[in-house]
Amino acid sequence: MIEAKGWAECGLPGIADRAALAVLGYLKLDGPFEIALLGCDDERIAALNAEFRTRPRPTNVLSWPSEDRAAARDGDRPPAPDGSDPELGDIAIAFETCAREAVAAGVPLAQHATHLVVHAVLHLLGYDHERPGDAELMEGTEVEILAQLGYPDPYTVASDA
């Protein structure tokens, strides 16, 4: 669902499809899988951030996995979905915040949005960055997926993902 006009103009549905398929392909996961995507503005994501994370401010992207898929041990890959439920979860991405971050990083909006969708899809699949080993695994996985898409390492420039 596209609520923010800017996302429609920059082609978020295509960006998101390409990013999600890249994650699934990299992890060798066969679908079908379902992900709900909301392309919203800062006001909407701030309300969602307040409701679900008690942080009443805009953020770039939020994700809600349909189930907890996290690895038990820090740094281990999360277990792959067993395929019994195609729904992976929901993602919301905020146009104004993403546009500001892209400008600050000196990258095209489509490139930054791709990174954020890759990041969010990994969250839906149980990847996280709260523990040190998990953060290293998630960041490395993002960098490799983005490289396959032809994008440079986003962590070599300022980024809030």
Backbone dihedral region of 106: left (phi > 0), alpha (psi from -120 to 50 degrees) or beta?
left
Report if residue 66 sits inside a domain.
Answer: yes
pLDDT over 70 (residue 161): no
Average pLDDT over residues 33-57: 97
pLDDT in tens, 93-142: 999 999 999 999 999 999 999 999 999 999 999 999 999 999 999 999 99
Give the largest CA-CA distance in the chain. 42
Flag whether 73 is in a domain: yes
**129 annotated ligand binder:** yes
Determine which of 31-40, 79-88, 114-123 has the lowest per-residue pLDDT on average: 79-88
User: pLDDT at position 84, please?
Assistant: 84
Closest CA relative to residue 89, chosen from 63, 115, 68: 63
Residue 160 pLDDT > 90: no
Look at residue 157 in the predicted model and tell me its pLDDT. 52
Residue 23, domain member (yes or no): yes
Closest CA to 159 of 137, 144, 148, 143: 143
Q: What is the CATH number of the domain that holds 40?
A: 3.40.390.30
C-alpha 60 chain-centroid distance: 9
* 145 part of a folded domain: yes
- Smallest CA-to-CA distance from 60 within 104, 22, 24 is with 104
Does the predicted model carry a pTM greater than 0.85? yes
Residue 161 within a domain? no
How many domains is the chain built from? Answer: 1
According to DSSP, residue 131 is labeled S
Note down the domain range covering 115: 5-153
115: annotated binding-site residue? Answer: no
Q: Is residue 25 part of a domain?
A: yes
Establish if 76 belongs to a structural domain: yes
Residue 112 is labelled as binding a ligand: no
Mean of the per-residue pLDDT values for the chain?
94
Mean pLDDT of 31-42: 95
